[in-house]
Amino acid sequence: MTTNIIGWIFGIAVFAAGVVNTFWGNDPEFGVFILLLSSVYFPPTSNILSAISKQAVGFPVPKIGKIVLGSFIVWATLGVGELFDKIDLMMQDF
């Protein structure tokens, strides 16, 4: 239950960062990439991906893999993606 709530919260946060990166700034492809990666954290998609990986490889994706991916997303979005600068651009449009 707790992992579902954490998955929804982190998925929504990453999705929002992906939307900001897609429509503001100079790299919409990066934003779409982040949007696609956010789907990994939503519980319904996570369950489907776990079932597919279990069938294809014989074991589900370990939770540490999602933690490493989440760390990469946070690093890429905040550091490389300059999220706060893009949020400032977004706020100027409103």
Tens digit of pLDDT for each residue in 14-26?
Answer: 998 888 888 877 7
Cβ(38)–Cβ(15) below 8 Å: yes
The reported pLDDT for the residue numbered 12 is 92
Rounded mean pLDDT of 29-42? 89
| 81, pLDDT greater than 70 | no
The answer to whether the pTM exceeds 0.85 is no
| 34, pLDDT greater than 80 | yes
Q: Using CA atoms, how far apart are residues 63 and 29, in angstroms rounded to an integer?
A: 27
CB atoms within 10 A of CB 57: 9
- For the chain, the average pLDDT equals 83
Rounded mean pLDDT of 18-47? 86
